[in-house]
Amino acid sequence: MTHRPARHLALAQLANSVGDGTYYVTSALYFTQVAHLAPARVGLGLTLAWGVGSLVGVPLGRLADRRGPRGTSVLLALGTATAIGSFLLVQDFAAFVLTACFYAAAQSGLAAARQALLAGLVPAGERTRLLARLQSTLNGGLAVGAALGGAALSVGTASAYRSVLVLDALCFLICALLLLRLPAARVGPADAGTTGTTSTGGDRRLAVLRDRPYALLALLNAVLLLRLPLLSLALPLWITERTGAPTWLASGLFVLNTLAVAMLQVRTARAVTGLGSAVRIVRRSGLVMLASCAVFALSSGRSAWLATAIMVAGAVLQVVAEMQQSAGSWQLSFDLAPADRMGEYQGLFGTGVTVARTAGPLVVISLLLGWGAAGWLALGVLMAVAAYAMGPVARRAAQRRTPRVTAEPVLVH
């Protein structure tokens, strides 16, 4: 792996994360105020769209395995840009749902194809460290995009919102051009020495769905990713409805999270060198997340200054758990996937994000706002149990692989 491909991967990540940041900040208001869709319909349409995205990740990842991850990544980046541009033409609910489904499908497939591309370009021992750098780049890009989107929000005109969508589409076009400049890597049986494992299922279509240990690993990871709606949705509602803390604290916690990941994710990932260390750090993240939830629960009914201090402490623990879980899950997802089906397997593992985006808001809000402090504890216990279960499941998955995927033992006792 040369420095140039790593730099192009980082620049491509930066380009599309800037676009994502602008979209996340402004899309809800664009759809409701410019496209004139009812908020409930926007929520329903996005839920349907990400549901579709969770279904197509695996077949699109399989396409990357068969046709090559670079070309597939470029095609899906162009598809994402086209979907974003199509939002400018949306005037009714049906068109919105179709376009949103196209957008979610392209995003899900792009994530799987780029993971397969990275696996084909980067030796196994370097992947987690590079992914940590890419995650830091992603957070920096989201912050820049959010600032640009905030400028559009301050203007508040239809033209300002449309300009943000144009910028988002251009960012994905730039991403596609940067990916096109990468070497044409193709992950297959010849690369088995890179990942340490090859497929045992021959040419069966969508073999990942028959690989029960890996599928269970992806499911457990989806449970751990229920943390995703916390910062964007659950914490703002909790702050305003259950504590005396000021409403601006929600944005402050988001900034704290973004800066911490940008600065510390690479350092956190250095501790992960194989399956054993990956299992240990994921388990540790479950315990830290349980502690974070317990701290958040203590903020219920507290006065402004005390609630603020408690929420900041909980957010610090939460971001530590997030960085640990990310580093460990990256290693597991790559080391336990066959070299010749990397895109297909990454497609399944990546559905955890779309599942969390689809079902997470309902699950998390129901727990926290419905049960209060007890809901926080229930969420923390759920994540701790899922993190602990990753150990025996990873051991079962490793036993299915020949030759052994790593020289480091999987310590799960």
The reported pLDDT for the residue numbered 86 is: 96
* Chain segment 359-385, per-residue pLDDT in tens: 777 788 788 888 999 999 999 999 999
Nearest alpha-carbon partner for 12 in 164, 116, 83, 114: 114
Highest mean pLDDT among 185-199, 309-323, 361-375: 309-323
CATH superfamily to which 207-399 belongs: MFS general substrate transporter like domains (1.20.1250.20)
What is the rounded CA–CA span in Å between residue 134 and residue 112? 15
Does residue 118 have a pLDDT over 80?
yes
Based on its alpha-carbon atoms, the radius of gyration of the chain, rounded to whole angstroms, reads 21
Q: Which H or E run contains 290?
A: helix 275-297
The reported pLDDT for the residue numbered 272 is: 87
User: In CATH terms, are 3-183 and 207-399 the same topology?
Assistant: yes
CATH 3.40.50.2020 fits 3-183, yes or no: no
* Chain segment 207-231, per-residue pLDDT in tens: 677 788 888 999 999 999 998 888 7
DSSP 33: I
* Chain segment 252-286, per-residue pLDDT in tens: 887 788 888 888 888 898 888 888 999 999 999 99
**What is the CA 221 to chain-centroid distance, rounded?**
11
Torsion on CA atoms 136, 139, 141, 142, rounded to nearest 10? 170
Does residue 193 have a pLDDT over 50?
no
What tokens were used for 251? 């944005």
Rounded to two decimals, the pTM is 0.74
Does residue 194 have a pLDDT over 90?
no
What is the rounded CA–CA span in Å between residue 220 and residue 127? 21
The reported pLDDT for the residue numbered 206 is: 59
Ordered by start, the domain boundaries in the chain are: 3-183, 207-399
The pair phi, psi for residue 238, each rounded to 5°, is -60, -45
Counting residues of the chain whose pLDDT is more than 90, the rounded percentage is: 36
For residue 75, give the amino acid letter. Answer: L
Does residue 251 have a pLDDT over 90?
no
